[in-house]
Structure 1
């Protein structure tokens, strides 16, 4: 019998990167593996948008239907369990396709995102 060392746990930065890759692939099942069961998503600073994996999944299933959805990472900073991403997200807004700058602040606990806060800029159409 051969012993294999357990895989190293992902760093908080790797967790956030994995969920961004799954987001861009619109792979809901992989995306959800990066979120804790009791995770919460907020509009910064304290407006609750989704609580728990059922609500997070439902929110993103709708988002993943957008044909041009894509988050482009501009900059990432990681300190301890906190990861901050600055992205430009391509979306299909009710007014039409465009982009929006987003700052995402992620708290990673036990290898999964436990809380996330998002601040959005003004959408740019076209």
Structure 2
């Protein structure tokens, strides 16, 4: 496993463990989150922390890796995220593009797929 892939895997594991300190340790202090081809979502640990903690409050939160492509310091993950939406429990697929620099995630861009709700009648 390349250093970039190892780092992105560690951040995925920290996300699923809801370990905010281990997760932020994977990111540069001034790391940025963006919508893919869109605006800035957060910059730096002070803005990343509350975004992650809001997700961690969801009882069913879990990210499953569907596929991963690595090209040098770039790691592209296709993930399915189990979430607790206001409308109910469900999943959303995401394309996550991580740029690793100097042993940390420097920039991450995300594209969201369609939200799918679970059948709440069973």
Q: TM-score range, shorter-chain basis?
A: over 0.9
Calculate the TM-score normalised by the size of structure 2. Answer: 0.94
Q: CA RMSD in A?
A: 0.9
Displacement of 1:47 after TM fit? 1.1
Partner of residue 76, structure 1: 68
- For this pair of structures, how many residues does the alignment match? 117
Q: Matched residues in 2 for 1:97 and 1:109: separation? A: 36
Partner of residue 121, structure 1: 113
Partner of residue 94, structure 1: 86
The gaps in structure 1 that reach 5 residues or longer are 1-9
- The 3-state SS of whatever aligns with 1:31 is helix
Superposition misfits of 4+ residues, deviation over 6 angstroms: none
1:21 matched to 2:13? The reply is yes
- The 3-state SS of whatever aligns with 2:60 is coil
Calculate the TM-score normalised by the size of structure 1. Answer: 0.91
1:110 matched to 2:102? The reply is yes
**Bigger Rg over Cα:** 1
Q: Matched residues in 2 for 1:42 and 1:96: separation? A: 26
Q: Matched residues in 1 for 2:86 and 2:31: separation? A: 28
The gaps in structure 2 that reach 5 residues or longer are none
